Amino acid sequence: MTAKAVVLLSGGLDSATTLLIARESGFELHAISFDYGQRHAVELDCARSIATAAGAREHQIVKIAFPAAGASALTDPSIPVPRHALHREPIPVTYVPARNTIFLAYAVSWGEAISAFDIFIGANALDYSGYPDCRPDFLEAFEKTVNLGTRAGAEGARFRIHAPLLRMTKGEIVRRAAELGLDFASTSSCYDPGPEGPCGSCDSCLLRARGFEEAGLVDPKRSET
């Protein structure tokens, strides 16, 4: 029987690449996305296309309400998304409190119910926005926590949190995605896309552009703008 993996799929480049890595590793794919009132809800349409294209067995979109939506530029339209300012502060205003803790907790909850003990997340600790919930020590501590706090863990199963992009540069991620045949046009990375596509100036757009540049490839999304 093929082992199952739950893959966090935002619809961005990193999570799409992670999904294809999980597939290449032989897992049956169970993708999970979150509708949390993010500015970039177009990501969810991308997530649907990516999951279908990857042949995911299931794709669940969970609607969640962050208890403090006003705490982040990603969930509060009145807070401007920083422009042209990569890594300006240690942790930017696009940080959503405890987001990956919540997302991973949902993934584990689903995983436990369907006996999928391999959880994949596209966290990256090298070329990233400085979010603390993308760091290796957080992911290790979370893995330990859920192995203690679940029935499956108590009964001998072992959850593993896989973050295959953790130590890759953005250029390496883009190259890996290209090798795996990712349709880049189906992904959306922008924090604040307009009707014409990505803004080109938020942290996430700047990181994506750096990735394509390093990889020596052209981003089909960029050429649209």
| List of residues contacting a second copy (CB under 8 A) | 32, 60, 62-68, 70-71, 90-91, 95-102, 105-110, 112-114, 132-133, 135, 137-138, 141-142, 144-146, 148-151, 153-155
**At its nearest, how many Å lie between a second copy and the CB of residue 95?**
5
Q: Tell me the C-alpha to C-alpha distance, in Å, between residue 136 and each of 2, 109, 167, 209.
A: 28, 21, 9, 24
1 vs 148 by CB, closer to a second copy = 148
* Identity at 172, one-letter amino acid code: E
103 vs 184 by CB, closer to a second copy = 103
**At its nearest, how many Å lie between a second copy and the CB of residue 4?**
12
Rounded to 5 degrees, what are φ and ψ at 209? -60, -40
- d(CA 116, CA 205) in angstroms, rounded, equals 33
| Cβ–Cβ < 8 Å for 80, 73 | yes
**At its nearest, how many Å lie between a second copy and the CB of residue 164?**
19
6 alpha carbon, distance to own chain's centre: 12
35 vs 213 by CB, closer to a second copy = 35
**At its nearest, how many Å lie between a second copy and the CB of residue 90?**
8
- Please name the residues in contact with 206: beta carbons below 8 A apart, sequence gap of 6 or more: 84, 86
42 vs 157 by CB, closer to a second copy = 157
- d(CA 8, CA 6) in angstroms, rounded, equals 7
Long-range contacts of 135-144, Cβ-Cβ distance < 8 Å, separation of 24 or more: 136/163, 136/166, 138/100, 139/163, 139/166, 142/101, 142/104
**At its nearest, how many Å lie between a second copy and the CB of residue 176?**
25
**At its nearest, how many Å lie between a second copy and the CB of residue 144?**
5
54 vs 107 by CB, closer to a second copy = 107
- d(CA 14, CA 79) in angstroms, rounded, equals 25
95 vs 212 by CB, closer to a second copy = 95
